[in-house]
A and B are shown apart, each in its own frame.
Chain A
Amino acid sequence: MKNLLLLTHLSTLVSFLKPSVACLRTALPLLGPLLGTLLMAPNMTVAAVHQVHPGDSIQAAVKAAVAGDEIVVYPGTYKETVYIDKDDITLRGVIVEGEWPNLEGSKQLNDAILYSGNGFSVEWFKITNYKGNAIMGQAGNNFSIRNNWIIDTGVYGIFPEFGENGLIENNVLSGIEDAAIYVGMCDHVDVRNNRVFDNVAGIEIENTRHALVEGNIAHNNTGGILVFITPGLPIKTSYDAIIRRNTIINNNTPNFAIPGSLVSTIPAGTGMIVLAGDDVVIEDNIISGNNTAGIIVTSQDFATEVAGDPESDPNPDRVQIRDNVMYDNGNDPVMDVKALMLTQFSTRGPDILAYKAAADAERGSCVSQKTAYRTYGLDDWQDCERVTVRAADAVASATAPPSTSRAVLSKMLAEPATPRVITVDANGAELVYQGICAGCHTRNVRMIGPPVLAIQAQYGTDAQALADYIAAPTKKRPDFPSMPPQDHLSEAMRLEVARYMLSLSR
């Protein structure tokens, strides 16, 4: 039933059409004279480019676009909320001599870009002064959010939620009152080479599995990089995150989050915090100038104003802190941390703080070169094996020693994730079957339509033939009423549900 919680709901392009579209586009320059023929061929999909100039509506272009199309937006100011509930749409800004296309919310509009489509890409936009988010995804898989410049867009800057397989790269974000980049309830996401500053939280990985956060610069936030399990969400875990080669400095901005929000409890001066997240590797980062602590590892009782959740494990397990360059942290810790450090006769905050249950040996956490750092609560942590990195390791990461994370180049998938169709089960066919088909068909009993067993006897394994019939039914059995066409379902979904129906065994 877990999958049931994953939302989605998408019109879909037939996924197997995509390679042919890609091939066509690649081949276009070579085809020359053939192009016109191809464009006129019926039922042939060729990606179109929709151009948007100042005064035009980006949303109008989205409405006109079909899967595979690109929407190219020229410099100017666009005051709108753009929503993309279609698959494989690319939104690309064009920058001309430093002039960006600017989505401007004037603190009147809620969100700049909302998407639920799979295969969505957005790049080269300046996004300013919205109230909610700059870019928010709900359920789209295989997303790419790159090269955007985002200033004060309210609660979050970039916020993919319930997405699988995504890339967030080379964005610059500032002035966000919660997390600038917030990866929520996702799987297989890389967050690379972004710059985040003057936010409450720079980058937050929350209830997300398989994330790589690499090469980012997080400075002058309240907290730089966060790995959280938030209780009370339908996804209960956050594990397998690599936080690597980031520069996390001077995150001392007073917390300006909305009271009641989770990040409102983050102490100013926090470089990194791992709250309940498991299997987090923090490696090769430069962490300095954070006035409370460089890295805080804690259980959920750090955030006391949140209702508990018996289904989520509150403790951070198997955290590895390896080979980070840390100095000049803890110069002006918040009161609670100062009180802890006074028990060690210091008034400075630590480089690394393991708080409460995070300090226990049973967590299985480790740190390399423990004595190189000023620490609190690490007495029972193990030593991570320390490996000297030579030039060859740095060049060819795949040969790096397996006890480090250096061999892992990405947490994204080698192949794109299956586009998320309406879910409940993996492909949504069950939901469509239960929601539509089962009203007239049961497995073995005559209802309004013939039983599924009779349909299986007729079609065998030929799901395509059944899918074709679903789209345009003709009256076949004299003693049954004719079936209404289900051509509102996408071609891919008709095939999926036909397969589901033909494989139904109980």
Chain B
Amino acid sequence: MRDGFTPEQIDLGRYLFFDPILSGNNRIACSSCHDPALGFSDGKQQSVGAAGTRLQRSAPSLWNVAFFNKLLWDGSKRSLEEQMLGPLYAPQEMASSPLGLIDKLSNNAHYPALFAQAFADATVTLDRIYRALVAFESSLISLNSRYDWYAHGVHSALTDNELAGLNVFRSFVARCAECHTPPLFSNQQIAVIGVPETAGKPLDPGAQAATGDASQRGGFRVPSLRNAVLTAPYMHAGNFSTLRETVAFYTGGRGHAVPQGEDLKLHWHIWEPQLSDKELDRLVDFLGALTDQAFMPEIPARLPSGLSPGRALRSEQDPDGKYSYLATEDPRRLHNDNTHEAQP
């Protein structure tokens, strides 16, 4: 668990997180791919970088990221500080540079004062930028869903359908809880499950590329399921646009989507559970009980840079389809803000 940050550091991190000044061409911010309205994801199959480049994978949610000891889909990064160097500086992502960052922030009219509040003085350093961003990311805690109320003993917090879904979720037929283990709904391990790629794309080697271990080919970090109703589309390739399609993948037959010629070491929990349509519906019901956005941060109305906060583009903002918004449905419509329904 990452903690020990001051409110001033969290707040500085919030401004930095939403500020496109962090990208080389001032066009995208962290929040462009991790939009709070979309569960800190972006609704796209694959994220798009500052120069319009389609990236390799879907943007993972940042809810509860402070609890994770493996980051990125391939699990290759061990800390948020280590992880953020990728998107900040990769030419196809935010395309910033260390010197450029310090230069822009130091010469900004407002940031040095914010750094002075958050740290000992107004000096802008890379470590302070990283620490502030980690502080903000670590404030994105979601552990108070209706499921948690049930787990704390308020057994009325779940509907009968959700409770039936919980029992499918943890049964040894569906086996979801074996990897999506409460309370994070992830066991933080690498699992090879044989998810299909977007049509036409070659198999993503996943963890194999990071570790060099051929037996981990096609392996990815088990994602948390908290706030999952908000983070469509799903899987590393973003190829499932609904939770219903996603849960149905697991009953489609062991290895049914593995390309011919690939010999993946599929996880032993990937089997043929033959879940009924009703059971799949109940699973989706249960996943809906994992929503809690009580600690949703406020999006800054104005940024120190004067730029507009980075947001995930939706189709009407992208008429040329350059950023083609591929989810069939705006996931925001799925966002039912009834988190506190069960509370007195």
Contacts and interface: CB of A to CB of B under 8 A. Distances in A.
Contact of A308 (B150, B167, B215, B270): B215
B173 A111 contact: yes
Contacts of B187: 5, 233-234
Given A111-B172, A422-B151, A490-B153, A234 B295 contact: no
Contacts of B170: 114, 136, 138
Nearest to A136: B172
B262 to A, nearest CB: 13
Interface string A417-458: 000001110000011001110110010110100000000000
Nearest to B274: A131
Interface in A33-92: 63, 81, 83, 85-86
B265 interface: yes
Contacts of B98: none
Given A234-B188, A435-B142, 19 more contacts: A7-B183, A9-B148, A9-B151, A12-B153, A132-B171, A133-B171, A155-B172, A155-B173, A156-B172, A232-B191, A305-B265, A307-B267, A422-B148, A424-B183, A430-B1, A435-B141, A435-B148, A445-B8, A506-B4
B294 interface: yes
A32 interface: no
B268 A110 contact: no
Contacts of A260: 254, 266, 268, 270-271
A308 B182 CA distance: 24
Contacts of A305: 265
Interface in A455-506: 484-485, 488-490, 493, 506
Nearest to A232: B189
Interface string A269-309: 00000000000000000000000000000000000011111
Most chain A CB inside 10 Å of its own CB: which residue of B181, B191, B219 = B181
A310 interface: yes
23 contacts: A1-B67, A7-B182, A11-B152, A11-B153, A85-B151, A85-B155, A86-B153, A111-B171, A111-B173, A114-B171, A132-B171, A159-B172, A232-B190, A261-B268, A306-B268, A310-B211, A310-B213, A422-B152, A422-B183, A435-B141, A435-B143, A435-B148, A488-B153
Contacts of A436: 143-144
B132 to A, nearest CB: 16
B96 interface: no
Most chain A CB inside 10 Å of its own CB: which residue of B69, B172, B188 = B172
B95 interface: no
B249 interface: no
A31 interface: no
Interface in B213-230: 213, 215-216, 219
B141 A131 contact: no
B182 A9 contact: yes
> In which size bucket is the chain A interface?
35 or more
B7 A445 contact: yes
A1 B167 contact: no
A423 B148 CA distance: 12
B306 interface: no
B68 to A, nearest CB: 9
A431 B143 contact: yes
Contacts of B189: 232-234, 309
B7 A447 contact: yes
A438 B6 CA distance: 12
Given A81-B167, A306-B215, A434-B141, A445 B6 contact: yes
Interface in A79-114: 81, 83, 85-86, 110-111, 114
B337 to A, nearest CB: 16
Contact of B181 (A5, A63, A442, A445): A5
A259 interface: yes
A4 interface: yes
Chain B interface secondary structure, helix, strand, loop or mixed?
loop
Nearest to A156: B172
Nearest to A132: B172
Nearest to B189: A232
A110 B151 contact: no
What are the 9 A-B residue pairs with the smallest beta carbon separation, nearest first? Answer: A11-B153, A435-B143, A9-B151, A132-B172, A110-B171, A307-B265, A110-B173, A132-B173, A308-B215
A262 interface: yes
Contacts of A485: 344
Interface residues of B, number: 55
Contacts of A259: 254
A242 interface: no
A439 B67 contact: no
A167 interface: no
B184 A4 contact: yes
A436 B149 CA distance: 11
A307 B215 contact: yes
A191 interface: no
A10 interface: yes
A132 to B, nearest CB: 3
Interface in A5-36: 5, 7-12
A435 B184 contact: no
B168 interface: yes
B192 interface: yes
B173 A114 contact: no
Most chain B CB inside 10 Å of its own CB: which residue of A114, A488, A493 = A488
Contact of A110 (B167, B254, B265): B167
Contact of B152 (A5, A138, A434, A490): A490
B84 interface: no
Contacts of A154: 172-173
Given A133-B172, A439-B294, A9 B183 contact: yes
A7 B181 contact: yes
Contacts of B267: 232, 307
B151 to A, nearest CB: 3
Contacts of A110: 167-168, 171-174
A1 B196 CA distance: 32
A10 B151 contact: yes
A439 B295 contact: yes
Nearest to B342: A488
A423 B67 CA distance: 12
Contacts of A434: 1, 3, 141, 143
A138 B189 CA distance: 18
B51 interface: no
B154 interface: yes
Nearest to B177: A138
A259 B24 CA distance: 51
Interface in A226-247: 232-234
Interface in B231-287: 254, 265-268, 270-272
A81 B173 CA distance: 13
Contact of B271 (A156, A261, A310): A261
A258 interface: yes
B167 A83 contact: yes
Contact of B1 (A155, A424, A442, A490): A424
A8 B153 CA distance: 12
Contacts of B219: 307
Nearest to A257: B268
A428 B15 CA distance: 32
Contacts of A234: 181, 187-189
